[in-house]
Every structure is written in structure tokens, then in C-alpha cells.
């Protein structure tokens, strides 16, 4: 009789161990799925940070070009209706400093810094990069770089018109919620 009690207690214990193993596997599976989701979010955040860094570099590039060619600053104005960059034909003439600067900035916005091996496909910049230079009057110029973000957030202010309504794609990217912009103002002093 003692052997029967020991035998039945061991069979109950064996079944409980199998259930514990199955519960542990389920918990581990949920944990691994959470890690996969976290990794995916980290990659999106990394891409957003890369694009923002590229935008800052290109924004400062044009600001420096205008500041160093201050006598022709008004010639850099593109307005918001004809920005330079993605989907645009870059200027090809380079007889003046302004034309050369505009050509180089346009190519940089399109990603000319890197190309795919064996092709001319440009991959070195952000998605849909556009650049605008606007005159604010009194020797002030607003420089804006706009691009396509990886997901929707709040839309930039409506006063920043560069690239406005050009990044409304899909069901999530509506009302400019995927448009990212960086701006700076360059002030050119009037020296007499």
C-alpha cells in the first residue's frame, strides 16, 4: 500500500512538471515576441535619427553657402513652389557660384553622396528630401529641409510650407503627419 501511494504521488508530480515546462515556454515566447517588436521600433528610431542628422548637415551646408556668398544671397531663393531635391531636375549650369551651390545642394538632397554598387541609384540621403530657400525681407532668408518620416507624428507648423502636402502617402501619413522639417534663418547684414 505504501508503494501505491508513492507511485501515484510520483505520477502526479510528473504531470505538474510538464505543465510547468509548457507555461515557461509560453512565457518565453511572449517575451521573445516583445523583444522582436522592440527591435523593430529601435530600427525605426535609428532611421529617423539618421535622417534628422542628414537634414541638419544639409541645412547648415546651405546656410554656410549663403553666408559666404552674401552679395548674391537673394539669388539663392527658390521659394516653396519650386524646391530643390527629390523629384526635381537639378540645375546643370555652374557658371556662377549660386548655380554651382544650387546644383550641389540639390544633388546632396537627392542622395548623391552614395549610390548602389554598379548603378546610378542614389541612396545617400533621406527619403524624399527637399530644400527651400525663402526671402523673409530685410536680409533674412529662411532655409528649410523637408523629408518623409518613417511614421506619423504631429504635423509641422503650417507656416513652414516647404514640402507641404507632398508626403501624404498611405492611410497613416495624412495631413502632413509624416513630413519632417528643419529650418534656420540666415541674416545678411547690410554694410555701408
* 131-183 confidence digits (pLDDT tens): 999 999 889 999 999 998 888 888 888 889 998 888 888 778 888 888 899 99
Q: pTM of the entire structure?
A: 0.77
- Block residue for cell numbers 550641389: 104
**Orientation of helix 97-109 relative to helix 2-68, angle to 10°:** 170
pLDDT at 78: 93
Which of 58, 64, 76, 77 lies closest to 181, judged by CA? 58
Q: What per-residue string of b and e applies to 55-80 under the rule 16 or more CB within 10 Å gives b? A: beebbebbbebbeebeeebeebebeb
pLDDT confidence band for 14 (50 / 70 / 90): low
Confidence check: pLDDT of 4 > 80: no
In this predicted model, what pLDDT tens digit does every residue of 53-66 receive, in sequence order?
999 999 999 999 99
Calpha distance 143→131 (Å, rounded) = 7
Amino acid at each position: 500500500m505504501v508503494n501505491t501511494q508513492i507511485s501515484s504521488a510520483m505520477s502526479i508530480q510528473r504531470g505538474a512538471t510538464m505543465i510547468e515546462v509548457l507555461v515557461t515556454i509560453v512565457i518565453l515566447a511572449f517575451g521573445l515576441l516583445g523583444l522582436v517588436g522592440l527591435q523593430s521600433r529601435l530600427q525605426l528610431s535609428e532611421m529617423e535619427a539618421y535622417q534628422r542628422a542628414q537634414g541638419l548637415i544639409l541645412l547648415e551646408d546651405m546656410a554656410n553657402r549663403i553666408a559666404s556668398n552674401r552679395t548674391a544671397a537673394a539669388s539663392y531663393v527658390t521659394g516653396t513652389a519650386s524646391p530643390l531635391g527629390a523629384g526635381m531636375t537639378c540645375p546643370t549650369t555652374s557658371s556662377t557660384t549660386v548655380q554651382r551651390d544650387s546644383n550641389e545642394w540639390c544633388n546632396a538632397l537627392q542622395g548623391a553622396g552614395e549610390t548602389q554598387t554598379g548603378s546610378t541609384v542614389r541612396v545617400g540621403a533621406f527619403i524624399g528630401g527637399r530644400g527651400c530657400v525663402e526671402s523673409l525681407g530685410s536680409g533674412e532668408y529662411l532655409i528649410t529641409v523637408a523629408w518623409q518620416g518613417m511614421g506619423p507624428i504631429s504635423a509641422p507648423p503650417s507656416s513652414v510650407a516647404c514640402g507641404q502636402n507632398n508626403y501624404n502617402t498611405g492611410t497613416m501619413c495624412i495631413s502632413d503627419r509624416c513630413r519632417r522639417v528643419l529650418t534656420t534663418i540666415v541674416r545678411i547684414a547690410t554694410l555701408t
